[in-house]
A and B are shown apart, each in its own frame.
Chain A
């Protein structure tokens, strides 16, 4: 009898597992080809909302997974505070193990300033945030915090080549109830957590490089969203403190 009970519970367990598998696969399979409109709708609502904001500021905590030559995996943490004023101003400050750097863009010039090294470089920049982010990345090799989400046309850029979009479920990030979304495209998976009620702001963003065996991720957790910050235009222009030396950018 005891033996029978054991068998019965094994069967029940297997049944449970298969029911779960069936449920999960039904969730993923429901659409063709695996792009759930519910997920893309939430992503679009988020990017439309961010793209429509005249000004915003946010604090981000970024964790970069890395693999040392010795094979050990480590995390590198960088805190960043970003202020965006459309159409042509960004102030982004990054502090961390790797970096102590402030990025200024005032509509005319772009400046990179390393306070601890007391050096800065300034170059003339295009007239909009979008063009300047492109210029920074393509001509100078610069990465600007949360650039992916700052673009006004972020939605088509994010959705490019997406072959899978899923609403994973609900999660609470920093006390805010969010929809957890998963998207997959060649060599990249990304997850976004978007506030479930109120303003559809992102609270977490994870990009995973699925093209290499290490499958490293970059995680950004966002907090202290302010969608109407009071910030004067002068803050976006760099004024070199005494003793600071001007250097140049190495062309790519």
Chain B
């Protein structure tokens, strides 16, 4: 009897809470979600990076992706690819690569350091925080 009473009380309390709480929770969440989706859609259409921290996140994430991609590329290179230096053909000027091809030799031209391999001269530059190599015509 005592137990039945307890169950009844608990159930009533539970039902009351459901009635009191759940609709409010939905009202709260739905406009919130609409607001966020609306803004995000607009932002994407405009093609802008939203927010400040986001810029930082995007920059670092891009950096990380680039590094990971490079590591994978390096791994693949070690596994399969022949040294590209001997067979390479000239790339368009201004082509950016994340690492020098194998077999490049350092060649100072007019006080600046160039790397020569596969018919291309490369110059080291910073692209954002990343050290990259860009094909160039020595002056």
Contacts and interface: CB of A to CB of B under 8 A. Distances in A.
B68 A34 contact: no
A190 B51 CA distance: 11
A119 B128 contact: no
B32 A186 contact: no
Contacts of B6: 8
Contacts of A21: 21, 25
Nearest to A138: B55
Interface in A8-42: 8, 11-12, 14-15, 18-19, 21-22, 25, 28-29, 33-34
A178 B57 CA distance: 24
- Chief secondary structure at chain B's binding surface: helix
A188 B24 contact: no
Interface stretch (A68-76, A167-175, A193-201, A233-241): A68-76
A129 to B, nearest CB: 15
A249 B132 CA distance: 10
A66 B31 CA distance: 31
Given A29-B28, A69-B69, A114-B131, A11 B10 contact: yes
A209 interface: yes
A117 B126 CA distance: 12
A185 interface: yes
Interface stretch (A46-54, A155-163, A224-232): A155-163
Contacts of A143: 56, 59-60, 63, 128-129
B43 interface: yes
Interface residues of A, number: 61
A140 to B, nearest CB: 7
A101 interface: yes
A176 interface: no
A188 B51 contact: yes
Interface residues of B, number: 52
A112 interface: yes
B7 interface: yes
B34 to A, nearest CB: 11
A187 B61 contact: no
A186 B44 CA distance: 11
A160 to B, nearest CB: 6
Interface string B97-139: 0000000000000000100000000011111110110100000
A7 interface: yes
Interface of B: 3, 6-7, 10-11, 13-14, 17-18, 20-21, 24-25, 28, 31-32, 35-36, 39-40, 43, 50-61, 63-65, 67-69, 72, 96, 113, 123-129, 131-132, 134
Given A207-B56, A211-B50, 9 more contacts: A8-B7, A11-B10, A114-B131, A143-B60, A163-B35, A164-B32, A186-B36, A186-B43, A245-B113
Interface of A: 4-5, 7-8, 11-12, 14-15, 18-19, 21-22, 25, 28-29, 33-34, 64, 66, 68-69, 74, 76, 97-99, 101, 112, 114, 117, 119, 121, 137, 140-143, 147-148, 157-158, 160-161, 163-164, 184-188, 190, 207, 209, 211, 216, 218, 245, 247-250
